[in-house]
């Protein structure tokens, strides 16, 4: 780049508008969980979010099923992830199978499949069909936003929305806060511990922490209203051959999707479309993100026209909305003190410093620690993992558990007068259990126990 290709900006003093013990950047599921957890453990916390709402890809990206929180025998992600499920459920904005329908004697029967599969609450990891019904939760995006806001407010977190992360403040090798862009101009937010919950590793990358780059499918998620779901399901099971042919045609229009291209939501007549799956778009590039929005809407418009004309139950269907956030699944990944591998996830490797669990895999505290910078933690889908491992371990509930552990770690470091790298992991594990979470400190029977570092 030559000087003619750039514009110089004068250096300017940036006002400090907030100082707290912990600064969490990113108000998605992991960030909300981290900020609430830190505040509940007695330290002051500021939560910074670029959008005018909380929930990240759960709400703004409309990833409307919370899964990867149940293995073959138990609910493995509890704590604040379960708390937000129950808060939404109490408002009628979350649906999950009762324990009786998850009983091993009935959960893999055809009856349970027909009852629950269109909610997306089944174990898609199994090779047998019908897939067994498990604990997972279908929810409304506004429900997630409100429940997140309630938890943040009740915990006394200092919330700053409409604040777009710009850069990390690093002093003497330590993260000391962040600078954000706002309508009022740049603002500085100081903290003794910073938690990167951006999803794209923005904070750690700005602090020069090493990272890897990954890529995966992106999606412009949408909701369609005016659907007679009873009629659509009657057609699916009453005319299976015709259904299969029309479903194949629909998926060709979409160009890529999961097993079902539409699922039910807690709002009657409104279905969720977690599609199309699009490759070749970089979630870190403006041009690619713009192109994905245009292409995704083009495909879904064609799909809706096809469904109205051909699929029973969709004759009066219409778009309710498209997600305000592009469904980006993978960009930068931390290269931390430990890098979780695909084999770690597949073999259910248990680590001595496990601080949270997913379906049946474990996350070591070391995978949340960046190299080369102190007082910085990473929580969310951008944690330290290979791209292949991240694809298997990036779901929302385990990311919330990671955030909960990060908030505890930050509070304990400040209380003990040590860095977050020096925190006693056993103390994090004990506090996770005290909060009703499962830190994964007790390996399941099918786990492969790794040797302690």
pLDDT at 451: 66
pLDDT at 73: 86
Residue 235 burial (CB count, 10 A)? 18
Tens digits of per-residue pLDDT, 333-369? 999 999 999 999 999 999 999 999 999 999 999 999 9
Tens digits of per-residue pLDDT, 272-299? 999 999 999 999 999 999 999 999 999 9
Exposed, middle or buried, 415 (CB in 10 Å: 0-12/13-18/19+)? middle
Residue 12 pLDDT class (50, 70, 90 cuts): confident
What percent of the chain lies above the pLDDT cut of 90? 93
pLDDT at 4: 66
pLDDT at 452: 63
Can you tell me the distance from the alpha carbon of 407 to that of 38, in angstroms, rounded to the nearest whole number? Answer: 4
Q: How many CA atoms lie less than 13 Å away from 402 in the CB half-sphere?
A: 33
Torsion-angle region of 417 (φ positive above 0: left; ψ -120 to 50: alpha; else: beta): left
Residue 23 burial (CB count, 10 A)? 32
Name which residue leads in pLDDT, 256 or 1.
256
Residues in the chain: 453
Can you tell me the distance from the alpha carbon of 150 to that of 106, in angstroms, rounded to the nearest whole number? Answer: 37
Q: Which residue, among 452, 431, 214, has the nearest Cα to 349 in the 3D structure?
A: 452
Residue 328 pLDDT class (50, 70, 90 cuts): very high
pLDDT at 341: 98
pLDDT at 126: 87
DSSP state of 71: -
Tell me the pLDDT of the chain averaged across its residues. 96
Residue 225 pLDDT class (50, 70, 90 cuts): very high
Tens digits of per-residue pLDDT, 208-221? 999 999 999 999 99
pLDDT at 9: 83
Torsion-angle region of 66 (φ positive above 0: left; ψ -120 to 50: alpha; else: beta): beta
The answer to whether the Cα torsion of 447, 387, 209, 177 is positive or negative is: negative
Q: What is the C-alpha end-to-end distance of the chain, expressed in Å?
A: 45
Query: Rounded to the nearest 10 degrees, how much is the dihedral formed by the CA atoms of 147, 334, 168, 405?
Result: 40
pLDDT at 399: 98
Q: What is the mean pLDDT of residues 101-107?
A: 96
Can you tell me the distance from the alpha carbon of 33 to that of 14, in angstroms, rounded to the nearest whole number? Answer: 29
pTM: 0.97
DSSP state of 65: E
Q: Where would I find the beta strands (DSSP E) of 3-93? A: 16-25, 45-48, 65-66
Does 406 have pLDDT greater than 70?
A: yes
Tens digits of per-residue pLDDT, 125-145? 888 889 999 999 999 999 999
Domains of the chain: 18-62+145-215+331-449 (3.50.50.60), 217-327 (no CATH)
């Amino acid at each position: 780049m030559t000087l003619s290709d750039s514009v110089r900006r004068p250096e300017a003093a940036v006002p400090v508008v907030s100082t707290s013990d912990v600064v969490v950047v990113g108000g998605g599921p992991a960030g909300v969980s981290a900020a609430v957890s830190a505040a509940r453990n007695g330290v002051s916390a500021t939560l910074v979010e670029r959008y005018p709402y909380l929930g990240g890809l759960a709400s703004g990206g409309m990833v409307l099923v919370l899964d990867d929180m149940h293995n073959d025998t138990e609910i493995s992600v509890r704590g604040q992830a379960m708390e937000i499920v129950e808060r939404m459920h109490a408002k009628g904005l979350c649906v999950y199978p009762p324990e009786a329908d998850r009983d091993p004697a009935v959960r893999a029967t055809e009856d349970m499949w027909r009852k629950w599969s269109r909610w997306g609450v089944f174990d898609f990891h199994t090779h047998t069909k019908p897939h067994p019904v498990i604990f997972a939760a279908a929810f409304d995006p506004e429900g997630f936003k409100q429940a997140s806001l309630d938890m943040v407010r009740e915990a006394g977190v200092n919330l700053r929305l409409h604040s777009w992360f710009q850069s990390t403040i690093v002093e003497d090798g330590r993260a000391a806060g962040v600078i954000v862009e706002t309508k009022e101009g740049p603002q500085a937010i100081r903290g003794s511990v910073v938690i990167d919950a951006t999803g794209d590793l923005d904070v750690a990358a700005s602090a020069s922490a090493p990272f890897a780059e990954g890529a995966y499918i992106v999606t412009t998620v949408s909701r369609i209203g005016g659907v007679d779901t009873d009629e659509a399901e009657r057609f699916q099971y009453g005319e299976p051959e015709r259904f299969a042919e029309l479903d194949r045609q629909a998926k060709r229009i979409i160009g890529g999707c999961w097993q079902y291209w539409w699922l039910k939501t807690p709002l009657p007549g409104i279905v969720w479309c977690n599609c199309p799956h699009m490759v070749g778009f970089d979630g870190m590039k403006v041009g690619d993100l713009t192109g994905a929005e245009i292409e995704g809407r083009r495909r879904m418009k064609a799909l809706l026209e096809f469904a109205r004309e051909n699929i029973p139950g969709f004759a009066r269907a219409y778009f309710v909305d498209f997600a305000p956030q592009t469904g980006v699944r993978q960009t930068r990944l931390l290269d931390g003190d430990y890098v979780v591998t695909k084999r770690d996830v597949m073999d259910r490797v248990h680590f001595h410093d496990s601080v949270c669990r997913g379906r049946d895999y474990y996350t070591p505290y070391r995978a949340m620690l960046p190299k080369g910078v102190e007082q910085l933690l990473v929580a969310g889908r951008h944690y330290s993992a290979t791209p292949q491992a991240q694809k298997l371990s990036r779901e929302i509930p385990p990311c919330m558990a990671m955030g909960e552990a990060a908030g505890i770690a930050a509070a304990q470091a400040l209380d003990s007068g040590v860095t977050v790298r020096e925190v006693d992991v056993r103390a994090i594990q004990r506090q996770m259990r005290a909060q009703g979470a499962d830190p994964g400190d007790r390996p399941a029977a099918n786990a492969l126990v790794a040797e302690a570092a």
